[in-house]
Amino acid sequence: MGSRGGIRRERAAGSIVSQRTQARLKRIAVYVTALLVSVFVTVPVYVMVAIAIQAPSDVFAGGQVHLLPDGVTLRNFVVLVTETSSVRYFTNSLIVTASSTLLSTALAVAAGYGLTRFDFRGKTLAARAVLFSYMFSPIVLAIPLYVIFFTLGFLNSYFALTLALTAISAPFCIWLMWQYFQTVPIALEESAWVRGASRWRTVRDVVLPVARPGYISAAIFAFAVAWNDFTMARVVMSRDEMYTITVGASLFLDRVSIGWGETMAVSLLIAIPPFCIALFLQQYLLQGFSVGGLE
């Protein structure tokens, strides 16, 4: 800006502003938008980290919140470990996340292979059922699951939560693998059969290696759903020692002994796995978006 570009008029068709000025304005708009969105996205994350690594007495000294740390301390993390059951909560989260990721991915690989390799009526119906369950509200599913698990005595078990989490992650994983297996040409398998390989060996040695990028995406998605989950864990787990980290930590702010320092410290710990995925596995994630988006 600042130039007298508005006065100069190299009139281009369709506009009173010259193309050069337009290009300049566009560049400015582009960088301003980029800057605004970056600030909007990064400030909350930065604040979380800054609060987590400082002692609360330093952060809240003198009425204003200090967001430029003078030093790093593990004090908040120590309080988490010694005064809360965070370790237990994290263990629970890891157990149910791992088992539901495994279950969901396995189901999706089997379903995707079967749905693309065998012909049957009602494929349209199957596709619509998968998409419909994908759009479903977890809380609407959680209510009957709660009553069923209650009746069967399954509440407060890893098994019940694994099933519930898989219920909400499996539809998209299946959709993803279904699409992925369509891009894997059947000719590969046929040539293996012709050479006398059994169907089983073909699956193991030909199909699964080729489908690897697909099921890594599916696994990442299933992992994110389970790790993120609050709704299902809140409904299925009612005993403190069975809480996942999201449910356990959600009650932290109600306690007098726990302040913002510990809350942000636990947030930082919860954020580590997603952060690693964003950094190292993002191409698999983007693949998920390209087949119709992740919830």
Helix residue ranges, H only, 7-74: 19-52, 56-59
CB of 199 to other proteins, least distance (A): 5
The dihedral sign for the CA sequence 279, 289, 139, 91? negative
CB of 64 to other proteins, least distance (A): 6
Instruction: State how far the Cα of 189 lies from the Cα of 181, in Å rounded to an integer.
Output: 12
DSSP symbols for 249-290: HHTGGGSTT--HHHHHHHHHHHHHHHHHHHHHSHHHHHHHHH
Q: How many positions of this chain bind other proteins (CB under 8 A)?
A: 112
| Helix (H) or strand (E) run with residue 119 in it | none
Which residue from 250, 254, 257, 258 is in contact with other proteins, where contact means CB under 8 A? 250
The SS3 call for residue 118 is coil
| Helix (H) or strand (E) run with residue 122 in it | none
Q: Which stretch binds other proteins (CB under 8 A): 35-43, 77-85, 94-102, 210-218?
A: 35-43
By CB under 8 A, the residues from 225 to 244 that bind other proteins are 227-231, 235
Instruction: State how far the Cα of 270 lies from the Cα of 224, in Å rounded to an integer.
Output: 11
Q: How many residues make up the chain in this entry?
A: 295
Does 186 sit near other proteins (CB under 8 A)? yes
Q: Which is nearer to other proteins, 140 or 256 (CB)?
A: 140
CB of 172 to other proteins, least distance (A): 12
By CB under 8 A, the residues from 263 to 282 that bind other proteins are 263-264, 267, 270-271, 274-275, 277-279, 282
Q: Which is nearer to other proteins, 174 or 206 (CB)?
A: 174
Does 152 sit near other proteins (CB under 8 A)? no
Does 283 sit near other proteins (CB under 8 A)? no
- The 105-144 site mask, x for binding other proteins (CB under 8 A), equals -xx--xx-xxxxxxx---xx-xxxx-xxx-xxxxxxx-xx
Which residue from 30, 61, 78, 152 is in contact with other proteins, where contact means CB under 8 A? 30
Q: Which is nearer to other proteins, 74 or 186 (CB)?
A: 186
The dihedral sign for the CA sequence 180, 186, 188, 192? positive
Does 40 sit near other proteins (CB under 8 A)? yes
By CB under 8 A, the residues from 60 to 99 that bind other proteins are 60, 64-65, 67
Instruction: State how far the Cα of 243 lies from the Cα of 256, in Å rounded to an integer.
Output: 20
